[in-house]
Amino acid sequence: MDSKWISEQMKPQACSNFLLVLYSSEGMMIRMLNWTGRHKTGWIVRIAAIVVLLIVSLSSPGLSEDLKIAVIDPDRVANETALGKRMKATLTKYLEARQKVIDTDEATLRGLEDELRTQGPLLSADAREAKQESYQREVIVYQQKVNVINRELQERRRTESDKYAKLLRAAVARVAKQGKFTLVLAKMPDSGLVLFHHGSLDITSQVIKELDRAGKTSKAEPKRKPKEKP
């Protein structure tokens, strides 16, 4: 595992998930989709079709006059809100702690490898074979540990992302209701879903303020003490 491990682990999470439709006044679609380069084209086709169907359905005679669409920039929200910064800091701290464990194990393996290279020719065949087997066992243990750590990281990132997404959706819904928006879409680079929009449709700044306000409010609320059993 090289020194770029942390940055590589952090990189996918910035854009791996996105909220296509962050808010719909009709409650028709509020969901999170996985965004991966491998299935990028397929997702775009499916998502575009869903958006068209959603907008058409919302453009029915009873809704066409009141149809208001807004957009937000998820990257700005993640980078500028206290919640987004806190999530990134939490994940970075978690990753750095795991990186130290991996670095320690790698140093041990390098030491064993050096011993084999320098002492191997001086040992008997049996002793050299035993040392090689010991080294291979350590390599297997190391690989297993890395796999476990990677699974833990995936779970931790999923947990943090889910918490963040839940709060983001709630903040977007509040801003949308206040502004009487029917639909809120997320602008994602390279997705091709929002090719152009008028600046007046962007409610990113309002969402950032609302998310920060909600975070401060939740911190200010006193924690309720559990009721004592009689």
Tokens, residue 32: 């999170």
Q: Of 221, 98, 225, nearest to 152 (Cα)?
A: 98
Quick check: is 224 in a domain? no
Tens of pLDDT, residues 141-156: 999 999 999 999 999 9
Quick check: is 164 in a domain? yes
Computed on alpha carbons and rounded to an integer, the radius of gyration of the chain in Å comes to 25
For each successive 10 residues of the chain (230 residues), what is the average pLDDT?
Answer: 45 39 45 40 46 49 66 89 92 91 92 88 86 91 92 91 90 91 78 63 92 79 58
Quick check: is 33 in a domain? yes
**8 A C-beta contact, residue 16 and residue 158:** no
As beta bridge partners, residue 184 has 23, 70
Give me the pLDDT at residue 123, please: 83
Quick check: is 210 in a domain? yes
Give me the pLDDT at residue 22, please: 54
Tens of pLDDT, residues 48-72: 444 444 544 445 555 555 678 888 8
Please give the tally of structural domains in the chain.
1
Look up residue 202 and give its amino acid.
D
Quick check: is 54 in a domain? yes
Domain range for residue 30?
5-219
CA 206 – CA 218 distance, rounded (Å): 18
CA 113 – CA 103 distance, rounded (Å): 15
Give me the pLDDT at residue 191, please: 57
Tokens, residue 213: 């306000």
Give me the pLDDT at residue 229, please: 57
Quick check: is 73 in a domain? yes
Quick check: is 228 in a domain? no
Quick check: is 225 in a domain? no
What is the DSSP code (8-state) at residue 131?
H
Give me the pLDDT at residue 222, please: 59
Give me the pLDDT at residue 186, please: 82
Give me the pLDDT at residue 18, please: 37
